[in-house]
Structure 1
Amino acid sequence: MSFVVSTEAGLPDHLRRRQLYAGTVFCLPPRDSITALAEFALEMVSQAFDGRDPLTAHQDMGVEEYVGVLAALKPAFTHHRRCKELLREILLDLGADTSKTYFDVPKLRVVPTASYLSSGLGYNYAAHRDTWYASPDCQNNWWVPVAGNAANKGMQFHPDFWGRPVDNSSSGFDAYEWNRTSRRDAAKYVTHDPRPHPKAAPGAEGSAVRVVGDPGSILSFSGAQLHSTVPNETDTARISFDFRTLHIDDLLSDAGPVNVDSRSTGTSVRDYLRADTFEPLPDEVIARYGADGSADGVLVFDPKVLETN
């Protein structure tokens, strides 16, 4: 198939979602609402590194100290009230109905040189679909470069397997077991990462396409797109953030691409907040998903467990 990238920023949200579910990737140019959250992210990162340039801080910091900074910084950003408010402004600016759109809190990525750190809090994602992480088929992914983004240290898509199955390890992923241990323990892993990240079989990901945007731009793509981290082999770090959205009508109508190869269990839908009120999805919607998850796991991750680890 051909890989379709659209820069159409004025498309109504329901048409954008329809195109996402058909495989289109949107690369939208910088706009004020996105830049506002990108600048807030960079401000938090700069404060966390206490005067060091966050793009080069790894060059004169021990990896354990560096991981310690990220261990405090990443959840502080993710759960900051201001991040939720600015994210809501992005969705409004892009034409989403915030009474029907739900988002997962944004994740901050600080990716230094891969030989320095590529595990745990600096994990380099192998080729994967987000649906392998027990996400619903209608999940929309959003990715924003903040600083240091380039083709040789950003993210990449593997379009050969859009709508086609690829050999993968998703059968070993359960969302509730992930909440119980793996999300809690990320900071422990510096030289290796034994967590059960679902991934394509080595060498099975096919071709790679890299879409590079300026700071404050945004990529929008289906959670069913096969994508991965480009290992950073430069001297400087890359800073970005990403988040995910669901439209309640799509959840109720089972919209989205056909699941061709995900065998994960449980569901991530309990993590989502309504964009206008920050309330969770209604129980009757959640009940449609994740009935096969681990009975011994944790349904919703509690970030407070990070305070004691």
Structure 2
Amino acid sequence: MTAVLSNSTATDDRRRELLFRGDLFVYSATPAATELVGFARELVSDAFGPLDPETAQHDMPVEDFARLLAELKPRFIHHPRCKELVPALIEERGCDPSLTYFDVPRLRTSTSDDYLVSGISYAFHPHRDCWYSAPFNQVNWWIPVFGVVAENVMAFHPRYFDTPVRNGSAAYDYGEWNRTSRRSAAEHVRTDTRVQPRPEEAIDLDPQIRVVPEPGGVLMFSGAHLHSTVPNTSGRTRFSIDFRTVHVGDVRERRGAPNVDARCTGTTLRDFTRCGDLARMPEELAAAYETEAEAAALAGVR
């Protein structure tokens, strides 16, 4: 059973324990989250000029929209202000900045009515982040930039949290993805030909859970959860921020959600930096996960 806990007072240790069992946590906006969302809105507003970003898709050729996002999203991801606000937000939520590592925050979009669903604004099919070489102790943070509704958020498919799904993760290697596929996202406007792990059997999308936080509210979930982009029928483009965290103690001790069906290779751990001082994840930890993933894949258990 998956529970949704609202404004829980659980400690970070207890919260991670419950996340790794499949529970979801949702929190109201905090000062740092509000500031992060406000900063994102500034960049988005500057990029779209006189157009309303949430409805601009109705006034722009899709190719122009994709080009705009191709400039906007990296600007947000790599802006020094994000390296200040994200650690502050993580600490506000009770995480130890000396033990918690985060990856770069990404500005995501989900356009309405199949306007742009590939490449730079990819509409995700049901998937686990762990099919994409994420560690099983990864915690995902998701934050709406503007108001969202049930018709443009994410869906979780809790029946599959501990139930295997036949999938294409065996063909995915994170290092190869970075070398050949990540940078070409903006080139995929009408279709997306990049190889990405997806279910290879029919998935029952119901029952599903949709969480609708306020702008600046935070949804936290395990990277092992099967989740998908809800087909956006709201008439408005959804803008959101997401990033991931890992606790170095979980990484060292191999604590995390169960691996029921991932067989990918490589690891995303090298993408993570420590909240307190932006130090990189220790190479020996990332290398160990990478080696174990390759060995497990060869043995047919990942």
| Bin of the TM-score, shorter chain as denominator length | over 0.9
* Equivalent AA in structure 2 for residue 110 of structure 1: T
Task: Name the counterpart of 1:262.
Answer: 262
Distance (whole Å) between structure 2 residues aligned to residue 114 and residue 203 of structure 1 = 23
Distance (whole Å) between structure 1 residues aligned to residue 152 and residue 47 of structure 2 = 22
Residue 166 of structure 2 aligns to a residue in which SS? coil
Deviations 1:130-165 (A, max 9, x none): 100101110000000111411011111000111111
Task: Name the counterpart of 1:126.
Answer: 125
> Is the 1:37–1:83 Cα contact (8 Å) retained in structure 2?
yes
Distance (whole Å) between structure 2 residues aligned to residue 218 and residue 206 of structure 1 = 24
Task: Name the counterpart of 2:286.
Answer: 286
| CA shift in 2, pair 1:293/1:136, >3 Å | closer
Distance (whole Å) between structure 1 residues aligned to residue 8 and residue 74 of structure 2 = 30
Instruction: Report which stretch shifted further, 284-293 or 238-247.
Output: 284-293
Residue 125 of structure 1 aligns to a residue in which SS? coil
Distance (whole Å) between structure 2 residues aligned to residue 45 and residue 65 of structure 1 = 15
Is 1:75 the counterpart of 2:74 in the alignment? yes
Task: Name the counterpart of 2:300.
Answer: none
Task: Name the counterpart of 1:147.
Answer: 146
Deviation of residue 293 (structure 1)? Answer: 7.7
Task: Name the counterpart of 1:304.
Answer: none
Residue 116 of structure 1 aligns to a residue in which SS? coil
> Is the 1:38–1:146 Cα contact (8 Å) retained in structure 2?
yes
List runs of 5+ in structure 2 lacking aligned partners: 295-302
Distance (whole Å) between structure 1 residues aligned to residue 202 and residue 31 of structure 2 = 40
> Is the 1:155–1:227 Cα contact (8 Å) retained in structure 2?
yes
| CA shift in 2, pair 1:249/1:213, >3 Å | same
Is 1:233 the counterpart of 2:230 in the alignment? no
Deviations 1:53-83 (A, max 9, x none): 1001111111111111100111110111101
Distance (whole Å) between structure 1 residues aligned to residue 71 and residue 113 of structure 2 = 21
Task: Tell me the TM-score normalised to structure 2 length.
Answer: 0.94
Aligned pairs for 1:20-99 within 5 A: 20-99=19-98
Task: Name the counterpart of 2:168.
Answer: 169
Deviation of residue 3 (structure 1)? Answer: 2.3
Task: Name the counterpart of 1:157.
Answer: 156
Residue 291 of structure 1 aligns to a residue in which SS? helix
Deviations 1:30-55 (A, max 9, x none): 22221111111111111111221100
Residue 105 of structure 1 aligns to a residue in which SS? coil
Distance (whole Å) between structure 2 residues aligned to residue 258 and residue 155 of structure 1 = 22
Deviation of residue 274 (structure 1)? Answer: 0.7
Distance (whole Å) between structure 2 residues aligned to residue 15 and residue 150 of structure 1 = 29
Aligned positions, number: 293
Identity %: 44
Deviations 1:275-299 (A, max 9, x none): 11111111221221112789xxxxx
Deviations 1:196-237 (A, max 9, x none): 221223531442211111111110111101100011123211
State the 4+ residue runs in structure 1 displaced beyond 6 angstroms. none
Task: Name the counterpart of 1:4.
Answer: 3
Deviations 1:105-142 (A, max 9, x none): 00101221242100001100000011001011100000
* Equivalent AA in structure 1 for residue 131 of structure 2: W
Residue 152 of structure 2 aligns to a residue in which SS? coil
> Is the 1:160–1:206 Cα contact (8 Å) retained in structure 2?
no
Distance (whole Å) between structure 2 residues aligned to residue 162 and residue 237 of structure 1 = 29
